[in-house]
Amino acid sequence: MNKILLIIQREYLTRVKKKSFWIASILVPLLIAGVYTVPILLFVNADDEQRVTIVDESGLFQDKLKSEGDLTFVFTKQSFEQAKEALLKSKDDVLVRISADIISNPKGVQIIGKKTVGFGVQNDIEGKIQNELRNIKLTKAGIDLQVLEDNKIKVDAQTFTLNEDGGEKSSSSGGAMILGGFFGFLLYISAFLYGSQVMNGVIEEKSNRIIEVMVSSVRPFQLMMGKIIGVGMVGITQFLLWGVLTFGASSATTAIMSSQIESKVMAKTQAGISKQEIEKYKAAVKQENPLSAINQTIENISLGKIIVCFFLFYIGGYLLYSSLFAAIGSAVESPSEAQQFMFPVTIPIILSFILAQFIIQKPDSSIAFWASIIPFTSPIDMMVRLPFGVSNWEIALSLVLLIAGFMGTTWLAGKIYRVGILMYGKKPSWKEIGKWLWYKG
Amino acid sequence: MSYILEAQQVVKRYANHTALSGVSIQVPQGSIFGLLGPNGAGKTSLIRIINQITAPDEGSILLNGEPLQPKHIEWIGYLPEERGLYKKMKVGEQLLYLAQLKGMAKNQAIEQLKYWFIKFDIKEWWDKNVEDLSKGMQQKTQFIATIVHKPKLIILDEPFSGFDPINANLLKDEILQLKQEGSTIIFSTHRMESVEELCDHIALINKSKVVLAGEKKAVKNQFRDNTYTIEYQGTLLPATDLFEVLQYTTLDDNTTKAQLRLRPDVLPNAMLAAVIQQVELSSFHENIPSFNDIFIKVVGENANTIL
């Protein structure tokens, strides 16, 4: 068996067998499914039917406040005091008193609940009374309500992307922003996470002194590449697990949710609520889903393209940076010593992340173009740009340059690594590390 | 004599110093070869070149008459002075990994490892993490890693450091056994008593040069200075035409110990004949220098000439 395969196997298995790997693999999809489900569940299960008894002392609101959504309004002729007593015995939840001088005294509304009145309920009731009050005042001022209705024009712009073939597709720049930000962030985190795993692995071998035994069996370059590839595959495994488990967890929760929504809709239908209302409700549920905009973006740019590009840029970016991290690890004897050398390597990673926030705003600017082409920033910044639509030649150019980039850094790192791993004693200076490049094998 | 390893005029330079300047050694097949020298003399640099960890700037290394090639890596077993293993790995897994990296097939490696685990009576260690082993146990583990692939050439750098006397003896026996089975052992150390016991040939490196090399007896003969120690009762003349007395020491019970040097071409028998006429002789032996003496003499002299 090829030695480099043995090394990859060991590096991969020792990491995948760790508990921490599995905890991260399971926890993250659960979190994502949670982010996706909880708002909807909260919305669906939020304050069930509330029966509101209204004591309208002004007599202005009778039949004007209509039951809607979860609120059912019941008017009573009882006095406020009687109604209060009745509330305790009845099934009703909330009692509202509208004072006689409500028109001149907008504060004359009291809401009394058996339990603490929810903020949502309070808002709804206030909103309805406020609306009605305004209508009354406007009518008094001689304004036709119909004219007023006609004036409520809502502008809802749709954004479109022009295709290369001239067609239009509706796009959602919000979804693209979220998706771009998500992939950019994932690559940003993974550059640090897996890069530093490679670095610490190298430091471990060096400080353990196993390195001398290892390099008497394999070439230093084989050892370095074996470690880089092994750790990189751990990253890919992690992403795949995240993908599959997130999909699984989301499908499961979606199934549970839709059954809940269904039964909710059923209940509403039975309660004799109009079809229009139910449609409105369904739309509101959909609105609560934070991923709805993303789903639309994914429909526009094929999901396959995004995933393929993600893995290509992950591999390219990972190889580029992790080889530099390996070189740093070889030059030092402890992680704390490594800090000083990490700085120049982390700068371009952080820079790409800062640029990413600009690119999200202006994905077609020339800065965005160059950031997604130049190898050191391209892995993160191309992924950020991708959901906004990037032509294939740009992706190809970026990938070719990235390959050239990581071949360069790997070559450089190999030269430093082979000398560094056998150097003990004082911490080297940049100048010394520079000299190592010219040592004979 | 056939040599398993020959170094020819090997030069290795680092940025600020020359580690090896024209080093040549010959290691005979089937011998135990002592590579001696003070710290920093260049022993480790030479060993790393033999292991193909680094390459020489000039000169060449021949293994079995061929210039070093990647395939030779599997012929060599190397125990570095600074021991090290993966701490979080299980003993068995780790040894299997290292054996496979030396080119063994998995089955073959498992079989060999079983043999050694039974031989050292350490079967219960297989599933233990290395970090749970004592230092001595780790040393044994690493020794197995060095020899499991049946190397033709075994390079041991300070093998006895860290071993208690019992395990050191065990190790010594293993080394001798490996020699009997046909392996050649290069043995780098500055502990001269083990050289005395085990080595057939030596090379002494000092200040990046070989200053002394050859078969053990021949090297010792070079350092014989024709002096003898005798113990006697009575009075001995300080000098005759056969010998001169370099030093007297009075011991208890009227015995005197004296160091004699024979005049050139005088045989010990003639000296003895003369001595027993003068005194009552109780003991006599030639002063054969120990490797410790030789080491100090050569390295010390060298230091003086350079200073």
Taking 90 as the threshold, does the pLDDT of residue A405 lie above it? yes
pLDDT of residue B81: 86
Report the alpha-carbon angle A338-A342-A346, nearest 5.
155
Report the alpha-carbon angle B172-B176-B177, nearest 5.
115
Strand partners, A54: A75, A96
Query: Quick check: A210 and B85 CB within 8 A?
Result: yes
The predicted-structure confidence for A183-199, as pLDDT tens digits, reads as follows: 888 888 888 889 999 99
Instruction: Give chain A positions within 8 Å (CB) of B43.
Output: none
Tokens representing residue A313 in the block: 């840029």
**Of B279 and A64, the one with more pLDDT:** B279
Query: Quick check: A6 and B54 CB within 8 A?
Result: no
Give the closest-approach CA distance of A224 to chain B in angstroms.
Answer: 14
Query: Quick check: A422 and B57 CB within 8 A?
Result: no
Taking 90 as the threshold, does the pLDDT of residue A9 lie above it? yes
- Of A429, A147, A165, A199, the closest CA to residue A330 belongs to A199
- Of A190, A187, A390, the closest CA to residue A300 belongs to A390
Q: Which residue has the tokens 């370059």?
A: A221
Query: Quick check: B89 and A14 CB within 8 A?
Result: yes
Do the beta carbons of residue B53 and residue A216 sit within 8 Å? yes
Which of A1, A205, A212 is opposite residue B80, by nearest beta carbon? A212
Q: Minimal Cα distance from A436: which residue of B?
A: B15
The predicted-structure confidence for B84-103, as pLDDT tens digits, reads as follows: 899 889 999 999 999 999 99
| Of the candidate ranges A70-74, A125-129, A217-221, B99-103, the one whose mean pLDDT is the lowest | A70-74
Among B17, B54, B94, pick the best mutation site for testing chain A contact (most A Cβ within 10 A).
Answer: B54
- Number of neighbours of residue A226 by Cβ within 10 angstroms: 23
- pLDDT grade for A427, boundaries at 50, 70 and 90: confident
Which of B52, B57, B97 is opposite residue A10, by nearest beta carbon? B97
The predicted-structure confidence for B99-121, as pLDDT tens digits, reads as follows: 999 999 999 999 999 999 998 88
Q: Residue B94: in which H helix or E strand, if any?
A: helix B91-101
Which of A6, A213, A422 is opposite residue B100, by nearest beta carbon? A6
Q: Mean per-residue pLDDT for A154-169?
A: 58
**Of A40 and B210, the one with more pLDDT:** B210
pLDDT of residue A198: 94
Instruction: Give chain B positions within 8 Å (CB) of A205.
Output: 86
Q: Which residue has the tokens 């920033």?
A: A377
Query: Quick check: A216 and B73 CB within 8 A?
Result: yes
Domains of chain A from N-terminus onward: 50-136 (3.40.190.10), 173-436 (no CATH)
Taking 60 as the threshold, does the pLDDT of residue A165 lie above it? no
Work out how many CB contacts closer than 8 A connect A with B: 62
Instruction: Give chain A positions within 8 Å (CB) of B70.
Output: 219
pLDDT of residue A398: 94
| Of the candidate ranges A34-43, A133-142, B60-69, the one whose mean pLDDT is the lowest | A34-43
pLDDT of residue A227: 95
Taking 90 as the threshold, does the pLDDT of residue A157 lie above it? no
Tokens representing residue B34 in the block: 């002592």
Q: Minimal Cα distance from A207: which residue of B?
A: B84
pLDDT of residue A200: 93
Which of A6, A208, A435 is opposite residue B84, by nearest beta carbon? A208
pLDDT of residue A410: 93
- pLDDT grade for A297, boundaries at 50, 70 and 90: low
Query: What is the per-residue DSSP string for A148-172?
Result: HHHH-------EEEE-TTS-EEEE-
Tokens representing residue A80 in the block: 């406020």
Give the closest-approach CA distance of A166 to chain B in angstroms.
Answer: 59
| Of the candidate ranges A240-254, A372-386, B129-143, the one whose mean pLDDT is the lowest | A240-254
- What is the rounded distance in angstroms from the CA atom of residue B88 to the CA atom of residue B132? 9
Query: Quick check: A432 and B15 CB within 8 A?
Result: yes
Q: Minimal Cα distance from A209: which residue of B?
A: B84
Query: Quick check: B82 and A209 CB within 8 A?
Result: yes
Query: Quick check: A209 and B84 CB within 8 A?
Result: yes
pLDDT of residue A293: 60
pLDDT of residue A46: 62
| Of the candidate ranges A18-27, A45-54, A211-220, A385-394, the one whose mean pLDDT is the lowest | A45-54
CATH number for the domain formed by residue range(s) B3-221: 3.40.50.300
- pLDDT grade for B307, boundaries at 50, 70 and 90: very low
- What is the rounded distance in angstroms from the CA atom of residue B295 to the CA atom of residue B196? 12
Give the closest-approach CA distance of A238 to chain B in angstroms.
Answer: 22
- What is the rounded distance in angstroms from the CA atom of residue B187 to the CA atom of residue B178? 13
Query: Quick check: B85 and A208 CB within 8 A?
Result: yes
Domain spans of chain B?
3-221, 225-286
Above pLDDT 70, what percent of chain A? 86
Among B58, B74, B78, B86, pick the best mutation site for testing chain A contact (most A Cβ within 10 A).
Answer: B86
Q: Residue B58: in which H helix or E strand, if any?
A: strand B58-63
- What is the rounded distance in angstroms from the CA atom of residue B178 to the CA atom of residue A308? 56
Q: Chain-wide mean pLDDT for chain A?
A: 82
Query: Quick check: B101 and A210 CB within 8 A?
Result: no
Query: Quick check: A440 and B57 CB within 8 A?
Result: yes
| Of the candidate ranges A96-100, B19-23, B144-148, B209-213, the one whose mean pLDDT is the lowest | A96-100
pLDDT of residue B83: 85
Q: Chain-wide mean pLDDT for chain B?
A: 88
List the alpha helices (DSSP H) in A271-334: 275-288, 292-300, 303-331
Taking 80 as the threshold, does the pLDDT of residue A214 lie above it? yes
Which of B82, B84, B101 is opposite residue A3, by nearest beta carbon? B101
Q: Mean per-residue pLDDT for A107-135?
A: 80
Taking 90 as the threshold, does the pLDDT of residue A176 lie above it? no
Instruction: Give chain B positions within 8 Å (CB) of A1.
Output: 100, 106
Query: Quick check: B100 and A422 CB within 8 A?
Result: no
Query: Quick check: A218 and B86 CB within 8 A?
Result: no
- Number of neighbours of residue A440 by Cβ within 10 angstroms: 9
- What is the rounded distance in angstroms from the CA atom of residue A187 to the CA atom of residue A178? 14
Q: Minimal Cα distance from B131: which residue of A?
A: A208
pLDDT of residue B306: 43
How far from the centroid of its chain's Cα atoms is residue A383's Cα?
A: 14
**Of A389 and A15, the one with more pLDDT:** A15
The predicted-structure confidence for B145-172, as pLDDT tens digits, reads as follows: 999 999 999 999 988 887 888 888 888 9
Taking 70 as the threshold, does the pLDDT of residue A201 lie above it? yes
Query: Quick check: B53 and A218 CB within 8 A?
Result: no
Residues in chain A: 441
Q: Mean per-residue pLDDT for B259-284?
A: 88
Which of B54, B87, B106 is opposite residue A208, by nearest beta carbon? B87
Q: Mean per-residue pLDDT for A47-60?
A: 76
- What is the rounded distance in angstroms from the CA atom of residue A239 to the CA atom of residue A311? 9
Give the closest-approach CA distance of A23 to chain B in angstroms.
Answer: 19
Taking 50 as the threshold, does the pLDDT of residue A116 lie above it? yes
- What is the rounded distance in angstroms from the CA atom of residue A260 to the CA atom of residue A395? 43
pLDDT of residue A158: 63
Q: Is A222 helix (H, G, I), strand (E, B) or coil?
A: helix
Query: Quick check: A3 and B88 CB within 8 A?
Result: no
Which of A213, A440, A441 is opposite residue B98, by nearest beta carbon? A213
Do the beta carbons of residue A228 and residue A198 sit within 8 Å? yes
List the alpha helices (DSSP H) in A46-172: 80-89, 119-140, 145-151
Exposure of A297 by Cβ count < 10 A (0-12 exposed, 13-18 middle, 19+ buried)? buried
Q: Is A116 helix (H, G, I), strand (E, B) or coil?
A: coil
Query: Quick check: A213 and B51 CB within 8 A?
Result: no
Q: Minimal Cα distance from B94: which residue of A?
A: A10
Among B11, B51, B53, pick the best mutation site for testing chain A contact (most A Cβ within 10 A).
Answer: B53
Residues of A near B (CB-CB distance < 8 A)?
1, 3, 6-7, 10, 14, 204-205, 208-220, 422, 432, 435, 440-441
Q: Which residue has the tokens 């749709």?
A: A158
